[in-house]
Amino acid sequence: MTFLVDTVRVDPAHADEYLNLVDGVGVPIMRDAGASLVSCCSTSQELGEDVEVLVVWSVGDHVRWNEIRKNLVLDPRWHRYGREAARLRSGGTRRFHHAAPFSPVA
């Protein structure tokens, strides 16, 4: 099992807007492209620092990810979503993780 893990930094003033964007726009687009949402969580908005949003997608494997990525590139909603998300975030990373053999999701 391969997971695409997005870790995004967002100003606390934009955290709810970003989470709503992921839920209302990002999740349907990713689902339609072939990925499954595993989880979405964030740090507190009340700490006086950027909020970190962690979004985990199940993508099967790297071959399947390439199919999903092709589907995303061909979907005009993805490009609009990317522009809107970029406006709200201040940084972040995207990494692929693989479940450990003892993980319940392996």
Here the CATH number for the domain that contains residue 77 is 3.30.70.100
* Assigned domain for 102 exists: no
User: Among candidates 3, 61, 68, 66, which has minimal Cα distance to 29?
Assistant: 68
Condensed to tens digits (0 to 9), the pLDDT of residues 1-46 reads: 899 999 999 999 999 999 999 999 999 999 999 999 999 999 999 9
* Assigned domain for 88 exists: yes
Can you give the pTM of this predicted structure?
Answer: 0.93
The whole-number pLDDT of residue 63 equals: 97
* Assigned domain for 105 exists: no
* Assigned domain for 45 exists: yes
* Assigned domain for 27 exists: yes
Q: To the nearest whole number, what is the mean pLDDT of the chain?
A: 96
Reply yes or no on whether the pLDDT at 64 is more than 80: yes
**Residue 29 has which token pair?**
């687009």
For 5, phi then psi, to 5°, come to -115, 115
Domain count within the chain: 1
**What is the domain extent for residue 64?**
2-97
Max intra-chain CA distance, the chain: 41
User: Among candidates 19, 73, 64, which has minimal Cα distance to 41?
Assistant: 19
pLDDT-derived band at 106, boundaries 50, 70, 90 = low
The whole-number pLDDT of residue 105 equals: 77
